Amino acid sequence: MTEARIVIIGGGLTGLAAAKHLEQNGHECLILCAGTAVGGRVRTDRHETDRGTFLLDRGFQVYLDAYDEAGRMLDLEALELMPFYPGALVRFEGAFHRAADPFRKPIDAAKSFASPIASLGDKARLALLDQRIRRSSVDAIWSRPEHSTIDALTEAGFGEGVIERFFRPFFGGVFFDRSLQTSSRMLEFTYKHFATGSTCLPAGGMGAIPEQMASALRSEIRLNTPVARVDPESGELLMGDGSAISAERVILATDANAAAQLLGEKPSVPWNETATVYYDADPETVSAFGDEAILVLDGDGVGPVNHLCVPSAAAPRYAPQGRALVCANVVGAEVLSQHEGDGALDVAIREQMVNWLGEGARSWRHLETYRIPHALPRRVPGEFGLDLPRAMPRLSERVVQAGDHLTHGSIEGAMIAGRLAAETLLG
């Protein structure tokens, strides 16, 4: 049996963040990761075609540069963050309507003053909400009474129109939950970070984030190394290949389902689901979105695409010269179950895009479909509500558990979980 002092199971952002904090406290560790590369849910594939290379993130996601914990963890300059336009384009009743952030794009916001997306009363309510959330600390947000997002918006007086046209596709797309049952604390947390910073993509893809973290570590990382079982009392790890490792201390930093499996338990954390479908497009066919990278929302609620963007408009390396990468996102198990095969999903997406953009969308070349059933741990008030933990749970003297299911499903949440796990382990 191999012996090791500290073992981290999982090479996602939680595990990598834990390793960095342990190293800062003088402890190198052994990271065991089932994946072919580090990153877990944050990885970028290089997709080679006869036209050149596309960068495909495994599910559309963005980095918010207002993240505090992640900002301390990463070298943001080296990531070359490329920002999106601060606002969104809402497709509603046959036209695109710009919803601009009035603080950063006051002229655009003034131009869209009479748009049908939000009434004047809703705009005033949004300004109030905006001010309250901007001024709140993250600690204050976590300690506020918890409702569902939809209840919080309704109680704040927002009308059905703005909820359906803007809030449902926008936050439904952030949480992968179009029902908006997700905790109002998550609404405020994400709103705050969208409003106080930029929404970005690293120039080389989201996978550059874990790659940067891993390359800064001295600890050994073993890829393609699944652990099959963990005995919390003895610290013994049974490996997927039948061998064993005896660890003095362990951080169990897998996703919630894998953790349950490793401990011989039934998975108990519910998940929100999404799918991202990528296309190689002639830039002319997406010119209706304008020159800047902007998030496009389905304000009609007809779907299947809930939100869409052109990552290469923000970060040109996502597509080869002269081409555009289109990233169409479908949200929720219910919608996805209506389009079971990838072919059927592609046909439905193209129909919607022909309706939005004209016949040019038929010429898009399908690149890849990523279906992600376990995208974000579902956080709804009650059993799966959100609190700000001060430590990660100790399963025994030797084993500490960590992961975004114990904080919140985000890059920031995973980095916090990693730090807290290291602190808990070191006592």
Ligand X SMILES: Cc1cc2nc3c(=O)[nH]c(=O)nc-3n(C[C@H](O)[C@H](O)[C@H](O)COP(=O)(O)OP(=O)(O)OC[C@H]3O[C@@H](n4cnc5c(N)ncnc54)[C@H](O)[C@@H]3O)c2cc1C
Q: Which residues bind ligand X (CB under 6 A)?
A: 9-15, 32-35, 40-42, 59, 61-62, 226-227, 253-255, 258, 262, 274, 372, 375-376, 403-404, 409-414
Nearest distance from residue 14's CB to ligand X, in Å? 3
Q: What is the DSSP letter of 404?
A: G
Strand segments (E) across 310-398: 324-331, 365-377
Our CB check for ligand X shows the closer of 37 and 156 to be 37
CA torsion angle 19 24 27 31 (round to 10): 10
Helix (H, G, I), strand (E, B), or coil: what is residue 59? coil
Q: Give, for 48, the enclosing helix (H) or strand (E).
A: strand 44-49
b/e sequence 143-176, b meaning 16+ C-beta within 10 Å: eeebbbbbebbeeeebeeebbebbbbbbbbbbbb
Nearest distance from residue 372's CB to ligand X, in Å? 5
Our CB check for ligand X shows the closer of 210 and 320 to be 210
Nearest distance from residue 186's CB to ligand X, in Å? 11
- Residue (of 364, 424, 362, 355) closest to 395 by Cα position: 424
Q: What is the DSSP letter of 144?
A: S
Q: What is the DSSP letter of 242?
A: S
Nearest distance from residue 169's CB to ligand X, in Å? 15
Q: What is the DSSP string of 195-209?
A: HHS-EEEETT-TTHH
Our CB check for ligand X shows the closer of 92 and 194 to be 194
Nearest distance from residue 309's CB to ligand X, in Å? 11
Alpha helices by DSSP H, listed for 25-137, are: 68-73, 76-79, 106-111, 120-135
Nearest distance from residue 227's CB to ligand X, in Å? 4
Our CB check for ligand X shows the closer of 82 and 357 to be 82
Our CB check for ligand X shows the closer of 13 and 245 to be 13
Question: Which structure tokens are listed for 338?
Answer: 């209506």
Nearest distance from residue 184's CB to ligand X, in Å? 18
Our CB check for ligand X shows the closer of 223 and 288 to be 223
Distance, in Å, from the CA atom of 384 to the CA atom of 183, rounded to the nearest integer, reads 9
Distance, in Å, from the CA atom of 193 to the CA atom of 65, rounded to the nearest integer, reads 8
- Give the HSE-up count for residue 223: Cα atoms under 13 Å, Cβ half-sphere: 9
Distance, in Å, from the CA atom of 349 to the CA atom of 303, rounded to the nearest integer, reads 8
Nearest distance from residue 9's CB to ligand X, in Å? 5
Our CB check for ligand X shows the closer of 253 and 319 to be 253
Our CB check for ligand X shows the closer of 146 and 412 to be 412
Nearest distance from residue 298's CB to ligand X, in Å? 17
